[in-house]
Amino acid sequence: MAVGIEPAKQLLPVPGIKLGVCKAGIRVANRQDLVVMELAEGCQTAAVFTQNKFCAAPVTIAKRHLAHQAPRYLLINTGNANAGTGEQGIRDTLRCCEAIAALTNAEISQILPFSTGVIGEPLPVSKIVQGLPAAIQDLDEAHWNTAASGIMTTDTIPKGISKLVTVQGVPITITGISKGAGMIRPNMATMLAYVGTDAPLSPAVLQQLLERVVERSFNRITVDSDTSTNDAALLIASHRADLAPLEDLSDPAWQDFITAVQDLFLFLAQAIVRDAEGASKFVEVKVENAATVNDALEVAYTVAHSPLVKTALFASDPNWGRILAAVGRARVERLNVDNIAIWLNDVAIVSQGGRDENYQEAAGQAEMDKDELVIRIDLGQGDVSESVWTSDLSHDYVRINAEYRT
């Protein structure tokens, strides 16, 4: 079950963005698995994609189309990743784009395709094409919640959030949804995330803002250290708010908006970790006083990815030696272990490179028994701090992934 998070409450519509959902039977009968998003004329879209070299066919086509012109429709299917499918996967993706273009009078290059699900299987094009009319018929600005359910795979809850901010007296809406529970260690984003706002932002600023907030959110989460072939995150600006476009991210009048976008992306990223496959704990690994950002992240990810640390977390076992060992094998030059201190929440377990003289096992156990935990590591080398959010490794994670195709 998800840790410390509930299914998305009623999400706010974003003027200029409509969403439609249907049950196409792509992999599982009688579940919402096909989503269409319609972007009104004038919408601008920024995106980041997976860095996995085996990127899926829809990623290849989405990049190509986005470079050509502003998209009018997004097509998202679950149940099948259309990855590792070669030229046939490209042809299948284009056939789906052609089908939605024919139904909407859009150009094929105005369609951005996205897929998530099983890798290596042919895309069931006929099911998607047959489901498109129903998804298009369902288009409505108020359908963010059903879309959040429609993009799920092994997720247990739909993930979404809305925020309202005011810029120069004008109210602005920001709404976003994400999906992902396994195969999560993004190098740019997460499995799938879509955020829309009615704020007017220039295309260059839109891309800059997306990359900035992704770096501090989706690029700081990991469930299992695996990067998907299909990752994508989008930020869409519909320009419906009555304001002059934002041209500079340093503009003081827009700082509340920028902060709200950052907070929204962080919520969506952390929601993925909270709903990680089989997760029973939500864990922040916070590295302080590192010499560089790379050093801080190297230590944080080494701890977060350690199977021994993650299984100890699942068992609520304060086996602090596993954390110490993970820090020690991180690829950080000139690491002085005598300077290192480690805490479980506020309980000091290591100081000056060894067991803290005041540490009591009962105190560590009390912290490990909690659903949410901060592992704080002080390297004593500089003034850089970074956090990574992760989960434990449970029996259910193994079962879910062992049975994924059955």
Residues 6 or more apart whose Cβ sits within 8 Å of residue 269: 178, 190, 217, 218, 220, 221, 389
Q: Domain for residue 201, yes or no?
A: yes
For residue 229 the two structure tokens come to 């072939």
3-state secondary structure 315-337: CCCCCHHHHHHHHHHCCCCCCCH
Q: What confidence category does residue 309 fall into, taking pLDDT thresholds of 50, 70 and 90?
A: very high
Among 258, 274, 290, give the residue marking a domain's end.
274
Q: Domain for residue 12, yes or no?
A: no
Active site residue 190: yes
**pLDDT digit string, tens, across residues 219-237:** 999 999 999 999 999 999 9
- In this structure, the strands spanning 159-167 and 170-179 are antiparallel
Is 80 exceeded by the pLDDT of residue 83?
A: yes
CB atoms inside a 10 Å sphere around CB 400: 16
Residues 162 and 235 in one domain: yes
Residues 230 and 375 in one domain: no
Residues 221 and 302 in one domain: no
Residues 47 and 157 in one domain: yes
The count of structural domains within the chain is 2
Distance in angstroms (rounded) separating the CA atoms of residues 93 and 114: 9
Is 80 exceeded by the pLDDT of residue 41?
A: yes
Distance in angstroms (rounded) separating the CA atoms of residues 237 and 174: 9
Provide the CATH number for the domain around residue 161.
3.60.70.12
What is residue 61's DSSP assignment?
Answer: H
Residues 41 and 104 in one domain: yes
Tell me what pLDDT residue 186 has. 87
Residues 112 and 238 in one domain: yes
Q: Domain for residue 189, yes or no?
A: yes
Q: Domain for residue 26, yes or no?
A: yes
Provide the CATH number for the domain around residue 372.
3.10.20.340
For residue 387 the two structure tokens come to 């956090």
Residues 170 and 298 in one domain: no
Does residue 89 contact residue 57 with C-beta atoms inside 8 Å?
yes
Classified as helix, coil or strand, 208 is helix
Average pLDDT over residues 303-319: 97
Distance in angstroms (rounded) separating the CA atoms of residues 259 and 266: 11
Is 90 exceeded by the pLDDT of residue 373?
A: yes
Q: Domain for residue 2, yes or no?
A: no
**pLDDT digit string, tens, across residues 12-29:** 999 999 999 999 999 999
Tell me what pLDDT residue 239 has. 97
Average pLDDT over residues 43-61: 96
pLDDT cut 90: percent of the chain above it: 94
Residues 231 and 335 in one domain: no
Q: Domain for residue 10, yes or no?
A: no
User: Of the ranges 39-53, 150-164, 185-199, which one carries the lowest mean pLDDT score?
Assistant: 185-199
Among 233, 250, 274, give the residue marking a domain's end.
274
Q: What confidence category does residue 189 fall into, taking pLDDT thresholds of 50, 70 and 90?
A: confident
Catalytic residue among 93, 190, 197, 302: 190
Distance in angstroms (rounded) separating the CA atoms of residues 64 and 49: 12
Average pLDDT, the chain: 96
Distance in angstroms (rounded) separating the CA atoms of residues 161 and 176: 6
For residue 71 the two structure tokens come to 């998209």
211: left (phi over 0), alpha (psi -120 to 50) or beta: alpha
Tell me what pLDDT residue 108 has. 98
Residue 297, judged by CB atoms within 10 A of its CB (0-12, 13-18, 19+), counts as buried
Q: Domain for residue 11, yes or no?
A: no
For residue 405 the two structure tokens come to 């195709």
Distance in angstroms (rounded) separating the CA atoms of residues 129 and 119: 20
Is 80 exceeded by the pLDDT of residue 406?
A: no
Domain of residue 175 covers 17-274
Residues 90 and 130 in one domain: yes
**pLDDT digit string, tens, across residues 106-144:** 999 999 999 999 999 999 999 999 999 999 999 999 999
Residues 239 and 136 in one domain: yes
Residue 233 has phi, psi (to 5 degrees) of -135, 135
Residues 289 and 238 in one domain: no
Residues 193 and 219 in one domain: yes
Tell me what pLDDT residue 383 has. 97
Q: Domain for residue 7, yes or no?
A: no
User: What does each C-alpha distance from 197 to 15, 124, 129 come to in angstroms?
Assistant: 8, 32, 29
Q: What confidence category does residue 86 fall into, taking pLDDT thresholds of 50, 70 and 90?
A: very high
Among 243, 274, 305, give the residue marking a domain's end.
274
Please tell me the pTM assigned to this model.
0.96
